[in-house]
Chains A and B, each alone.
Chain A
Amino acid sequence: MDGTIAGFLAVDGIATGAIYALVAIGTVLIFTVTRVIFIPFGDIAAFTALTLAAIDSKKMPGTLGLVAALAILAFLTEAGSLARTRRLRQLPRAALIYLLLPLAVVGAVWAAIPFAAYEPVRILLALALIMPIAPLLDRIVFRPIASGSVLLLLVVAVALHFALVGLGLIFFGPEGVRTEPLTSFATDIAGIPIPGQSLLIVLAAIAFSLLLFLFFDFTVMGKSLRATAVNRTGARLMGIRPARSGTIAYLLGSVMAGVSGVLIAPVNTIFYDSGFLIGLKAFVGAIVGGLISYPGSAIGALFVGLLESFASFQDSALKDVIVFATLIPILLWRSFASKQIDEEVEE
């Protein structure tokens, strides 16, 4: 391996890592606010790519049906819980939020698809359509068990992932898609070619991390999300509803997963079940950050991307093995690191 190849692999690895970073940051966001390790998060990214591909070819994406079905289920779940707690007078509000709002999005996207001539518009339509999925799943699946242990929530999240993959096969079919590159721009630095797509991926990752940082630091809503993550009881005593914070976290996370799906679709062929590996590799990155730290997760995700890039050059069949095998020393290191903190507290 000479310098040029190493440089090429590094550029490739950073771009892949930036995609994982977006998903990893979303994973941390959702975990800290709701305590759910949202395994289906990668599926959201894959579904966005599949949705965009369908819109590009002027077909009606399966996501329309998926969101509509989830909206009906979420509304029925909410209505059931309102009936049980004798709060049926809140039914109109529940219908508005869980049924009419998602269906309005479905309707608007459905009506707009034939007229979406520009790629940015199509991307926005795909993102708009993907955003309600995670919050609706939260209402259907996680809200009823919100006070359960982290382990329970994780097991349910894994089950939910398999359910989503099955739904993905029904709604999108088994064919893989690859969308058009977002830019044909290319440049090189010191003889190493840098595709515009890679540049775009890294810029998007930086932009979204920055936006999230600004949101957390300068808006009351962002602060209320952090408060929910830091101290749920304290947040409730200030009138901050953890369920509402969770919905906002799922919406924001979905945007990040969706953007990463849009960015990865021109680089890799995406199938209905491609999300799992994206989500899992992002999760490895998030583990480096201890599932708490945003910068830590971003760095971890970049590390995973680089490792994968160099590993696939050495032996492409073993790249996933190498990536996931690194999880073991990372977990060992984290368990030792956190033990030291505990000891400091005892002193």
Chain B
Amino acid sequence: MSAMLTIENVSVSYGKVDAVRDVSLEVQPGQIVSVIGPNGAVKTTLMLATMGLLPLRGRITFEGTDLADLDVEGRVERGLCLVPETRELFAEMSVRDNLILGAYSRRDRHDLQADMHDVYRRFPRLRERSTQAAGTLSGGERQMLALGRALMAKPKLLILDEPSLGLAPLIVREIFTTIASLRELGVSILLVEQNARAALETADVGYVLETGEVVQSGPAESLINDPRLISAYLGSH
């Protein structure tokens, strides 16, 4: 089985400081892969670079294509979609318009209505607020909209950066349930999370990033029982 996304020896630097050092990771088709670690900025940097928003050294291939030749928009057209930590919604536009623009990169727009209904089915709150400006939504609703907008693009690989950041525990659970339910769509997910336990419980494979390097990786269920990780990030039940 060939990997969907392969990150090989990637470094990203801000000036002279290497934020990300020589990181390699893989996402197989249909897999949910979690990247956990103490420093959110490092993980975010890696995700922005993967998307083409930051320059990097090293090699990233998506379905066998070297991403170096593609700009951000080209990557989106290939089926890569990032929900950034900052959400980047169109605040002054309605929820509905945000969702419509989610499908902008798609060539087939004939089943747009059906896809919109599917998003509304997952997030009934968005249907209630469909004519409201995105900027007036609560934090949880914004995250739902950011996820919904990304789903409208029908991505092959969805990159989620800190989807639970700043949300109430009840909403965090709802978001993770939704992420887990995306398996049925066959979409691969690269999940970056501060909330290590919830992330590993949802994922198939986990990577631990410390001071810009991968220090540990493996199946999620083995990481979740790792004594060192429990004491460092997971805490005991």
Contacts and interface: CB of A to CB of B under 8 A. Distances in A.
Interface stretch (B1-9, B17-25, B72-80): B72-80
Contacts of B215: none
A77 B83 CA distance: 34
B73 A227 contact: no
A142 to B, nearest CB: 18
A87 B69 contact: yes
A108 interface: no
A48 interface: no
B153 A239 contact: yes
Interface in A226-245: 226-227, 230-231, 233-241
B213 interface: no
B82 A237 contact: yes
A240 B97 CA distance: 14
B226 interface: no
Interface in B77-101: 77, 81-82, 84, 86, 88-93, 97, 100-101
Interface string B144-180: 0000010001000000000000000000000000000
B51 A237 contact: yes
Nearest to B97: A223
Nearest to A222: B97
A239 B90 contact: no
A237 B81 CA distance: 7
B91 A238 contact: no
Interface in A184-233: 220, 223-224, 226-227, 230-231, 233
A223 B149 contact: no
Contacts of A231: 88-91
Interface string B6-44: 000000000000000000000000000000000000000
B101 A220 contact: yes
B72 A226 contact: no
Interface of A: 87, 220, 223-224, 226-227, 230-231, 233-241
Interface of B: 51, 53, 69, 72-73, 76-77, 81-82, 84, 86, 88-93, 97, 100-102, 104-105, 109, 149, 153
27 contacts: A87-B69, A220-B101, A220-B104, A223-B101, A224-B101, A224-B104, A226-B90, A226-B92, A226-B93, A231-B88, A231-B89, A231-B90, A231-B91, A233-B88, A234-B89, A236-B72, A236-B76, A237-B51, A237-B72, A237-B84, A237-B88, A238-B105, A238-B149, A238-B153, A239-B105, A240-B101, A240-B104
